[in-house]
Amino acid sequence: MTAPKNSHLFLVKGTGFRWATVPIIICLAVTSLLLWIFFRVVDLKPKVSENFFFSEQDPQLRADNQILKLFPEPPQLIVAVAGDIRSLPYLQRVTALSDELANVAGVSSIESLSRGPKDIDDALKSRLWRRLLIAENQKASYIFVILKRNVSEATVHRIEAVQQRFERPGFKVVISGVPYVSELIARNLARDLRVFSLAAVCIFGVVLLLIFRSLWILLGTFIACADSSACTLLANQMLHIPIGPLTANLSTMVFVMTLSPMVFLTFNWKRIRGERQAEGRGPVWEAVKQTVTPSFWSSTCMFLGFISLLLVPSTPMRHLGIAGAIGATMAFLAAYAIYPWFLQLATPPSELRWTKAFESRMRSFFSERHGLIVAAMAVFTVIGALGLMRLNTDPDLPSYFKKGSDIRTGLDFVDRTGGSSPLKIMIEDRQRVPLNTKEAYKRLWGLQEALEKDPAVGQVSSLPVVLSEAKRPWFSIFLSTEKEIKILDQPKYGEISSQLVTADRERTLYLLRMHETQRRGTRGEVIERLKGIVQRNGFRVVLVGGTYSLLDQMARLVTSSIISGVLILIGIFVVMGFAFSRSLRVAGAMLVSLFIIPVVVRGYIAYMGMPLDFITASAANLDLGMGVDAMIYLTMFARRENRTLDWSAWSKACSHLWQPIGTSLLVICCGFGIFLLSNFPPTQRFGIFVIFGSATAAAAALFTFPWLASSGRRMEKVDQARAA
């Protein structure tokens, strides 16, 4: 039997294919092992502490730590029960609910209408119980659930189960408190991390398959992105960096950082393959040679941008910096160590007639200068800059949950009736006189009433309020204030005195529950106003702490990061841009173009009434990264075409690179668009910020950047023509 004609070609091709699949098999085996280790080792549950944006070691918690050392206070939840507080059925159900909550593992003690005052009339007559247990409108009462230290999330789940069992018409049970809010934020982040990140990856895949129509490209993309994300999270686990509110979307960010160089690499491969009419390994490695240098510079910019976050005095932000820097490194390595092996087995799909015509028109469009579009973007940027004055970096706590949801409704109810955000103010007399005298008691009461009159203040607990209960019996007239303080410091009274006054009786603590939704002005302005009230009543503020104060410091840090952090990022990117372009004109164009991105994004989200919270603030790294990524590729392509970097070089760069830039934008918009379906507002806002920022970055890179980078050269040519 004779061999068919040209059979050696089939044998060679088959042998080549078999050899080409060896790296693929190795990549798949390594990925399988990596994912097996990943799912066994990495804890994907986000950790959100009661300190939100800070850790115990951060300087912002110094005041809180000092207050806690002087006035030890266990964590607590507030359970508000709406109904007819004077009716017998209501009081019976409050008693049963209190007993159920007291039996929950992790609960230390309970304070409620059934565990304190004799009855409802006694509670209404008491200065202490009326303030502590009854809402301002007297249509609800509070149950304070005192928790043990380091309580687990299981305790919160059990308390929620008790709430659901007792909930019924005429007896509405609502949970609030910082431990509950932080647990809900962690729970929502975990669900969105699991559901929407997976959905985003699937959408990325569908869009890539529709664009490139190659299963090899799709498989290589997923393997490279999965490896980079898994390696990043494994490295974080080894460095004891937990998944927190800022790093919850880290895997998606690494996915995008890995995807970007692969998109540029794929389009370069298609162009080289078409120009040389070649197949196999040659076009792939030629494309790698052309793409790896700009990819390296882009990854270096992202690496340094994340490293700059180490300068921020916040441990979670520094964790994001370390994790992001690791992610940028892993993204570059995965894109060039894994993806090319899959790409060399791919075959470009046959182009459709309408796509050829469309690509031809788009190449012609992007090869021209568009001064009107640049002018429109300038006007758009100026309008956005005016909106920055309205940007809300100090959102209230309920805004982290969807309007109309049961959780949001409950938090709003508690906040409206008595306040939801704790604020601690430690004070002393201006003359440092002891506070255990009857005269001091009267003056402390004056301060109590003055603080209660402030519209931002809800419930206030303090030493005079507690002492007022000790002074109710007739025989209290024979007791000194110091004796009453010592009596209340006994275990049977919960040692309440030690939580409100120091042993030397020179300093005392006021515990305020602040209104979040009715706040006018920033938290910082409210705190300064309260300090003024303290001073006018003859006292001096020693320390201010609590969640309300921490949220104020967090807002200040977010605001400063918008200014200093973005400026540092842009500065790093511009310096790197000058390093690889060796042109001040290009560096200046990059500076202006990158500046447009944060101004437009933050300005217009302010117009839309969206706050910039501490979870979505990290989107700035992705937006600026997209912008500098596109500008680096454009610059390197233009330098390769013409080292003088005149308009002809930029024209050719834009006409060739609009496709990978547009493809990256399309994939990101489709992937992050799924985040808009979340019921967790910070996840929705993160998706909107990334989509809007990526679109702005693409427009700035394709229109403003080349126009500015070539303007000086164009003016030189005009002057030369006039001189001639």
Condensed to tens digits (0 to 9), the pLDDT of residues 343-399 reads: 888 887 666 666 777 778 888 888 888 889 999 999 999 999 999 888 888 888 788
Q: Which of 433-447, 548-562, 631-645, 679-693 has the highest mean pLDDT?
A: 433-447
Task: Say what the pLDDT of residue 4 is.
Answer: 42
Residues paired with 422 in a beta bridge: 513
Say whether 241 sits in a helix, a strand or coil.
Answer: coil
Q: CB 724: neighbour CB atoms within 10 A?
A: 5
Of 291-300, 301-310, 452-461, where does mean pLDDT reach its minimum? 301-310
List, as one string, the DSSP characters of 291-323: HHHHHHHHHHHHHHHHHGGGGSS-HHHHHHHHH
d(CA 657, CA 256): 18
Q: How many helices (H) and strands (E) does the chain have?
A: 26, 8
Contact 246/317 with Cβ under 8 angstroms?
A: yes
Please report which confidence band the pLDDT of residue 100 belongs to, taking 50, 70 and 90 as the band edges: very high
Give dist(CA 124, CA 141) in Å, integer. Answer: 11
3: pLDDT confidence band, cut at 50, 70 and 90?
very low
Range with the largest mean pLDDT of 118-132, 249-263, 325-339? 325-339
| pLDDT at position 53 | 61
Query: Which tokens sit at 305?
Result: 């941008």
Query: Which top CATH class is 59-176?
Result: alpha beta
State the Cα–Cα distance between residues 349 and 315, nearest whole angstrom: 49
Residue 452 banded pLDDT, cuts 50, 70, 90: very high
**Taking the mean position of all CA atoms in its chain, how far away is CA 11?**
56
Tokens 């440092």 correspond to 432
Q: Are 229 and 266 in contact (CB under 8 A)?
A: no
Rounded Cα–Cα distance for residues 270 and 702 (Å)? 21
SS3 category, 489: coil
Tell me which DSSP letter residue 454 carries: S
Higher pLDDT, 411 or 721: 411
φ, ψ for residue 615, nearest 5 deg: -85, -40
End-to-end CA, the chain: 79
Return the HEC string of 492-523. HHCCCHHHCECCCCCEEEEEEEECCCCCCCCH
Distance between CA atoms of 13 and 580, rounded to whole angstroms? 41
Q: What is the mean pLDDT of the chain?
A: 83
| pLDDT higher than 90, residue 99 | yes
Give the Cα separation of 56 and 189 in Å (integer). 22
**Domain segments of the chain: what residues?**
59-176, 183-341+552-723, 412-545
Which range is most confident: 52-61, 164-173, 195-204, 305-314? 164-173
Is the backbone of residue 578 left (phi > 0), alpha (psi -120 to 50) or beta?
Answer: alpha
509, 423 contact by CB (below 8 A): no
**Residue 88 pLDDT exceeds 70:** yes
Which two structure tokens, joined as six digits, stand for 691? Answer: 């989509």
> In this prediction, what percent of the chain has a pLDDT beyond 70?
90
Q: How far apart are CA 193 and CA 370, in angstroms?
A: 41
How many Å separate Cα 139 from the centre of its chain? 37
Note the pLDDT tens digit of each residue in 298-325: 888 888 878 877 877 777 778 888 998 9
The H or E element spanning position 279 is none
Q: Which of 674, 636, 703, 551 is nearest to 295 (CA)?
A: 636
- Residue 190's Cβ-count burial label (10 Å; 0-12, 13-18, 19+) is middle
74: number of Cβ within 10 Å: 12
Q: What is the pLDDT of residues 219-243, one digit of tens each?
A: 999 899 989 999 999 999 899 888 8
**Residue 138 DSSP class:** S
Confidence band for 281, pLDDT divided at 50, 70 and 90: confident
pLDDT level of residue 722 (50, 70, 90 thresholds) = very low
CA distance linking residue 217 with residue 212, whole number of Å: 7
Q: What is the per-residue pLDDT for 517?
A: 81
Q: What pLDDT band is residue 719 in, cutting at 50, 70 and 90?
A: very low
**What is the per-residue pLDDT for 531?**
94
Integer Cα distance of 339 and 258 in angstroms: 10
Residue 278 pLDDT more than 90?
Answer: no
What is d(CA 622, CA 306) in angstroms, rounded to the nearest whole number?
Answer: 10
